[in-house]
Amino acid sequence: MNTTMNRTPRSIRTTRLAAALACAAAGLLSAGAHAAGEAKNVIFFLGDGMGPVTVTAARIYKGEKQLAAKPGSLVSPERANLVMQSLPYAARVKTFSLDGQTTDSAPSMAAYMTGVKMRNEVISMSSDTTAVDSTGKQYINGENTTCLPTNGKAAETLLELAKAKGRAVGAVSTTRVGHATPATTYAHICNRNGYNTIAEQSVPGHANYNPKLLDGIDVLMGGGQRNYLTSAGTKRTDGVDLVAAMTAKGYTYVDNGTKLKAVDTAATGKLLGLFSQSEMAYELDRVKQNLDQPSLSDMTEKALGVLSKNDKGFFLMVEGGRIDHALHGTNAKRALEDTLAFDTAIQTALTYMEKKDPGLKNTLVVVTADHDHAIAFNGYPKIGNPILGLVNGYADGKPSKAIDGKPYTTLVFGNGGRPNATAGSDVNAEDGNKKWIAPARAATRDDQTAMDTTDDNFLQEVGINLGSPGAETHGGGDVMLFAGGAGSKIFKGTMENIKVFNKVKEAAGL
């Protein structure tokens, strides 16, 4: 039998493929056109450094917690569900910056907010902007900018576009409010480390105020008192109390969780919350140390209470910023705890908006990360193996061993720091100066058999030692994006980070 008689000729197959692609393209175009302007409300969630491994590990960690609280509620922890992964549309995002295969947080978040590809350390500026001079010196003096007025131009942000439409706007973070991610929504600066200048851009009436914010950003919450206040610990050099300047413009100011809880959003037009000198506490420490700081969910709910009163709509950015910091420290437990706190904030927003906007017919929710980290999911652990534990193999359930005969953990890092001779590098200053538990990176590996790898202060093993804890780098891999609500159907496929801006702008009619 001549089997070639049953084959479709190549020319016909090619024609059919072209037709199918054309139909698909037409479908995408019609979907995009249909999405235009659907969402008058936008909630943009950013898990800083929350790459695919972190998301997966957090899901398993959530499952472990669920089973501990309610045995038998899951077949295994791997089958748990994160709220972010319940959103109906998903995509992958390429994160490289203009000058780096691996991006810094500033240009990656700025790409989402402006649609402009820029250099590392640049905040919402044109592509020709540089963060350093010709000698490599950063354009900063302390935490004040030394950027030249000729060094690039401001790139308009989604928050500014929403404000121009008469919508309410806000930014919430567990980092300083002037840290890279929140700053990209409302500020423009050639170097992200000019925190004092970034703060000034948020203050109506200040000489450095960003006029695109019109009467002011409506909600701004996170850490960073030292860039706004002139009290002890301040980084300000001009003696100007920016909080006083903002309260004079009608802002309600709160500096702890108790005060935030007491805020009546119905009677509050503008809200400023600064809850720590620098970054806010990790969720693990906030809870265990009973700190009077609000959770990310608390801040998200209050922000929505203020912003959602605007009939024209709103734009809110919510960042789980300390996920990134824990990953830099190769402290997986704190990273996973903060990821779950971030996921809880997403649930808070969905629940709140479902009551205000049933079916999210006018509300777009986007959840993504700005970049990945050098974290890896390691070995062949059995189902139900503790995600923070040593690997026990699926075949025999026994500890898996490296070539040196020693066990290893599921989560490891390609690089990072270890406690060393540097003063303070062996203790966790955010947890009462308790000692880090950190397998050494030397000629031979430490035996982790007797180590408590689930301890709050355990630092996962690293492949390349870059110095002290906190030295771990970002990763250059693609990240995940999840979307739901009005206009969310256009978020699918693989795209560059600058294209996310276009899709949010289209969906929101900005």
What are the residues facing 236 on neighbouring strands? none
User: Which tokens belong to 392?
Assistant: 């026990």
Euclidean distance between CA atoms 497 and 113, whole angstroms: 9
Q: How far apart are alpha carbons 278 and 285 in whole angstroms? A: 15
The secondary structure element, H or E, covering residue 404 is: none
DSSP, res 358: G
* Beta-bridge partners for 94: 496
Question: β-strands 363-368, 479-485: how paired?
Answer: antiparallel
Q: Is 173 noted as a catalytic residue in this protein?
A: no
Reduced to 3 states (helix: H, G, I; strand: E, B; else coil), residue 225 is helix
Q: What is the pairing mode between strands 140-141 and 144-145?
A: antiparallel
Q: Two tokens at 57? A: 């590990």
> What is the rounded CA–CA span in Å between residue 205 and residue 186?
15
Which string of b and e fits 294-325 if b means at least 16 CB within 10 Å?
A: bbbbbbbbbbbbbbbebeebbbbbbbbbbbbb
Contacts with 370 (C-beta within 8 Å, 6 or more apart), sequence order = 46, 48, 49, 95, 103, 105, 108, 109, 112, 181, 479, 497
Using H for helix, E for strand and C for coil, what is the string for 15-61?
Answer: HHHHHHHHHHHHHHHHHHHHHCCCCCEEEEEEECCCCHHHHHHHHHH
Determine contact, residues 474/495, Cβ cutoff 8 Å.
no
**Tokens linked to 15:** 């024609």
SS in 3 state form for 138-207? Answer: ECEECCEECCCCCCCCECCCHHHHHHHCCCEEEEEEEEECCCHHHHHHHCCECCCCCHHHHHHHCCCCCC
Residue reference for tokens 């010709």: 134
Q: What is the DSSP letter of 436?
A: P
Q: Choose the catalytic residue: 105, 124, 202, 297.
A: 105
Active site residues: 105
